[in-house]
Amino acid sequence: MTIGNISNNIRFAPGYQCAQLIALIPIISGNRPTLYIAESSGIETHHETEEFRGWSRSVVHAVIRDVMTPIESVMKNGVRMACADGAERLCFPLLCEYIGDMPEQWLLTCLVQPACTKCLYRGTPDANDPRYQRRNAVNKLNKELANNHPRTDAHALEQRARCNDSVPLRALGYHPQHPFSTNYPFGTGIIDAVGPDLLHQISKCFMDYLIKAWIWKLMKITWKGRGFSKTQLKMEFDSRFALMPGYTGIRRFEHGVLTKTHAWTVHEYKEIMKVIIGALIGLCPTEGIHLVMQYLDIHRLAHYSCHTDESLAWLENAVDQFFEQLKSPNGPFIKYSLVSPESETQKIHYQRHYANTVREKGALPSSSTDRTEPLHKLLKDAWRRSNKGKDSIEFVLKEHTTLSAFQSHIDSFDPGEVSENAELEHLAPDDARIPGFL
């Protein structure tokens, strides 16, 4: 947990200790203690059952609610805080952001996958709901819901209170369980707090969706019609990357980019983005190249660390054009059934909310999970060093505390200043603290 009024550059630098570990949240899995507790409470323990998943969701929320109890009372009643100008003010802390990837966001908001956490877009039809099985009905429903219907904590609360029957609730994308933030004041809650995760959305989807699912398949279809095999096309595409002339700041991919034996990192995807257009010219139809260009625009603009109305308009425009290109009824992506005209993957759909999120909460890189990864690293390392037995959590916490204490000791240690002050304090303790006096 960290507080809001710290500059982002300082907040996420591990050495500054701006983020503090306040709890380790359990993962409810099929291990023995979990199964024992579930069985003794009379809960069916199979992972596929709705009952077990509902129970494990409730446990996570109960833990977070418990951890947040002291802060929750302060949220309602306020707390006196000393401000930098010397005055004391009554302050009301609020939950502003909860950084997590998509599965985590669904778990925290108690939403049914793949519902959108920012609007009422439900994603795909729910197989359990007979009313929404027809394709046209889903299409119509999604269009209606996605159009200017933001999802809010108040809406979630109202729907859960109104619907006792779980079918309409599911159709709207809600699980019956209430999230931990139900009683938070001022309409803030977990739905308001979750936001775009650039790492797993725009950066990672570049390869997972744009290149592999759409562009590569489009190229395959195009060149198959001209009598070229998949192997020949792959060789040509990879060779273009391998033969790229060297240049400062540009990486050369000697083995191409379609190899399956290499585990790609998002950093490498960003290197591919720098040169991809050059490799596609002449191989990919124009519609595909335009789609990649729009995607790269969105990627760049979403990573801006500050925005103006003009840059936000560019971002909105790029997102609109991207979806227009992708879902154009006469375009190749619909024609070859590479994308479905009525539904879109949640990670891609989230781009529609980027500009609004910037307006509400500020630049997007600060809510991306890559900023919080370094903070987890220390814990993960400590877990790796532990014997993973009964006392391992205690070991992890001890390691974490020791390292944090040592780091803060190093941070506060400035040999030059200490020796000078020590000498001066000995002579004139009061005057020595005023800079420039002696």
Interacting residues of 175 by C-beta distance below 8 A, sequence separation 6+? 54, 57, 110, 111, 112, 169
Total residues at the site for Zn ion (CB under 5 A)?
Answer: 4
- Report in angstroms how near the CB of residue 151 gets to Zn ion at its nearest: 7
Residue nearest Zn ion by beta-carbon distance: 116
Helix (H) or strand (E) holding 340: none
Binding string, residues 72-111; x marks residues near Zn ion by CB under 5 A = ----------------------------------------
Tell me the closest approach of the beta carbon of residue 354 to Zn ion, in angstroms.
11
**What is d(CA 220, CA 233) in angstroms, rounded to the nearest whole number?**
7
Residues 348-407 binding Zn ion (CB under 5 A) are: none
Distance separating alpha carbons of residues 7 and 30, to the nearest angstrom? 41
Q: What is the DSSP string of 139-176?
A: HHHHHHHHSS-B--HHHHHHHHHH--SHHHHHHHTB-S
Q: Which is nearer to Zn ion, 173 or 332 (CB)?
A: 173
Question: Alpha-carbon distance 218 to 209, whole Å?
Answer: 12
Q: Name the one range near Zn ion by CB under 5 A: 23-31, 33-41, 112-120, 181-189.
A: 112-120
Q: Tell me the closest approach of the beta carbon of residue 118 to Zn ion, in angstroms.
A: 5
The least CB distance from residue 394 to Zn ion, in Å, is 42
- Cβ closest to Zn ion, residue 119 vs residue 318: 119
Closest to Zn ion by CB, 200 vs 240, is 200
The least distance separating Zn ion from the CB of residue 60, rounded to whole angstroms, comes to 23
Footprint of Zn ion on 165-204 (CB under 5 A): none
Q: Report yes or no: 369 and 100 within 8 Å, Cβ to Cβ.
A: yes
Residue 357 CB, shortest distance to Zn ion, in Å, is 11
The least distance separating Zn ion from the CB of residue 190, rounded to whole angstroms, comes to: 16
Residue with tokens 């204490």: 405
Q: Which residue, 118 or 299, is less far from Zn ion as judged by CB?
A: 118
Sole window of 102-110, 115-123, 199-207, 240-248 interacting with Zn ion (rule: CB under 5 A): 115-123
What span, in angstroms and rounded, lies between the C-alpha atoms of 125 and 116?
A: 13
Nearer residue to Zn ion within complex by CB, 222 or 340: 340
Nearest CB to Zn ion, comparing residues 114 and 288: 114
**With binding defined as CB under 5 A, does residue 121 bind Zn ion?**
yes
Q: How far is the CB of 121 from Zn ion (least distance, A)?
A: 4
How many angstroms separate the CA atoms of 245 and 279, rounded? 12
Whole-angstrom distance, CA of residue 380 vs CA of residue 377: 5
Q: Tell me if 338 sits within 8 A of 332, measured CB to CB.
A: yes
Lookup result for tokens 């609020």: 94
Comparison of 119 and 257: residue with beta carbon closer to Zn ion: 119
Residue 134 C-beta: closest distance to Zn ion, Å: 22
State phi, psi for 89 to the nearest 5 degrees: -125, 155
**Looking at beta carbons, which pairs linking 321-329 to residues 24 or more positions away fall under 8 Å?**
321/294, 322/291, 322/294, 322/295, 322/297, 322/298, 322/351, 323/352, 325/287, 325/290, 325/291, 325/294, 326/214, 326/291, 328/287
DSSP 131: G
Which range in 30-38, 119-127, 136-144, 252-260 contacts Zn ion by CB under 5 A? Answer: 119-127
Residues 302-321 that bind Zn ion (CB under 5 A): none
Stretch that binds Zn ion, among 72-80, 120-128, 205-213, 277-285 (CB under 5 A): 120-128
Minimum distance, C-beta of residue 346 to Zn ion, in the bound complex (Å): 8
Q: By CB under 5 A, tell whether 120 contacts Zn ion.
A: no
Nearer to Zn ion, 181 or 357 (CB): 357
Q: Does 119 bind Zn ion (CB under 5 A)?
A: yes
Q: Tell me which residues in 245-264 interact with Zn ion (CB under 5 A).
A: none
Residue 306 DSSP one-character state: S
**Considering beta carbons, is residue 61 or 353 the nearer one to Zn ion?**
353
Torsion sign across C-alpha atoms 109, 5, 369, 301: positive
Positions that interact with Zn ion (CB under 5 A):
116, 118-119, 121
